[in-house]
Amino acid sequence: MKLPTYQEAKTRNPIAYQKEQYKLPRSLASKYAGRTYYLKTYGCQMNEHDSENIKAILEEMGFQEANDYKTADLILLNTCSIRENAHNKAFGMLGRIKHLKESKKDILVGLCGCMAQEESVVNKILSDYPWINFVFGTHNIHHLPEVLEESIKKQQLEIEVFSREGNLIEGMPAHRASNYKAYVNIIYGCDKFCTYCIVPYTRGKQRSRKKEDILQEVRQLVKDGYQEVTLLGQNVNAYGKDLKDGYGLSQLLEDVAKTHIPRIRFVTSHPWDFTDEMIDVIAKYPNIMPSIHLPVQSGSNRILRLMGRRYTKEEYLNLFHKLKQKVPNCTISTDIIVGFPGETKEEFQETIQLAKQCQFDNAFTFIFSKRKGTPAEKLDDPISLKEKQERLQQLNEVVNHYFLKSNQSLIGKIVPVLVEGKSPKKKNQLFGYTDTNKLINFVGDERLIGKIVDVEVTDAKTWSLDGTYHE
Ligand code: SAH
Ligand code: SF4
Ligand code: F3S
pLDDT, tens only, 70-112: 999 999 999 999 999 999 999 999 999 999 999 999 999 999 9
Examine the domain organization and report whether 386 and 422 are in the same domain.
Answer: no
Characterize 337-347 residue by residue with b for buried, 16 or more Cβ atoms within 10 angstroms of its Cβ, and e for exposed: bbbbbebeeeb
Same domain, 115 and 156: yes
The mean per-residue pLDDT over the stretch 346-362 comes to 98
Residue 170 lies in a domain: no
The helix/strand/coil state of 449 is coil
Residue 14 has pLDDT above 80, yes or no: no
Question: 197 C-alpha to center of ligand 1: Å?
Answer: 6
Q: Note down the domain range covering 207.
A: 178-289
Ligand 3, atom 3: closest residue by C-alpha? 44
| Residue 1, in any domain of the structure | no
Query: 149 and 114 share a domain?
Result: yes
In a domain, 202, yes or no: yes
Number of structural domains the chain divides into: 4
Whether the CB of 81 sits within 6 Å of ligand 3: yes
Whether residue 169 is contained in a domain is answered as: no
Rounded to an integer, the average pLDDT of 208-233 is: 98
Regarding the beta carbon of 43 and ligand 3, being less than 6 Å apart is answered: yes
Who wins on pLDDT, 131 or 164?
A: 131
**CB under 8 Å to 27, separation ≥6 — which residues?**
none
pLDDT of residue 212: 97
Q: Is 82 in the pocket of ligand 1 (CB under 6 A)?
A: yes
pLDDT band for position 120 (cuts 50, 70, 90): very high
Q: Is the CB of 197 under 6 A from ligand 3?
A: no
Split at pLDDT 50, 70, 90, the class of 471 is confident
Sequence-ordered alpha helix ranges (H) in 44-143: 45-60, 84-103, 119-128
Q: Which pLDDT belongs to residue 186?
A: 98
Does any ligand 3 atom lie closer than 6 A to the CB of residue 44?
yes
**Which residue is closest in CA terms to ligand 2's atom 2?**
194
Nearest to 112 by CA among 124, 121, 99, 101: 121
User: Whose C-alpha lies nearest to ligand 1, atom 18?
Assistant: 197
Q: Give the model's pLDDT for residue 132.
A: 97
**Going by C-beta distance under 8 Å and a sequence separation of 6 or more, which residues neighbour residue 92?**
none
Model pTM score: 0.96
With bands split at pLDDT 50, 70 and 90, how would you rate the model's confidence at 165?
confident
Q: Is residue 27 located within the same domain as residue 139?
A: yes
Q: Give the CATH number, domain containing residue 185.
A: 3.30.750.210
Residue 349: predicted pLDDT = 98
pLDDT at 427 over 90: no
Q: Which atom of ligand 2 is nearest to the CA of 190?
A: 3
Question: Among the three residues 386, 408, 430, which one is the final residue of a domain in this structure?
Answer: 408
- How far CA 401 is from CA of 4, 339, 443, in Å, comes to 44, 21, 27
- Cβ burial of 115 (10 Å; 0-12, 13-18, 19+) is buried
Pocket test for ligand 2, best of 45, 46, 138, 194 (most atoms within 8 A of CB): 194
**d(C-alpha 301, C-alpha 309), whole Å:** 10
pLDDT of 465 reads: 98
Q: What is the mean pLDDT of residues 346-356?
A: 98
Does the residue 339 lie in any domain?
yes
The size of the chain, in residues, is 471
Ligand 1 pocket mutation, candidates 42, 114, 197, criterion most atoms within 8 A of CB:
197
Packing angle, helices 313-326 and 276-284, rounded to 10:
20
Instruction: Please tell me the distance from the alpha carbon of residue 40 to that of residue 70, in angstroms, as a whole number.
Output: 12
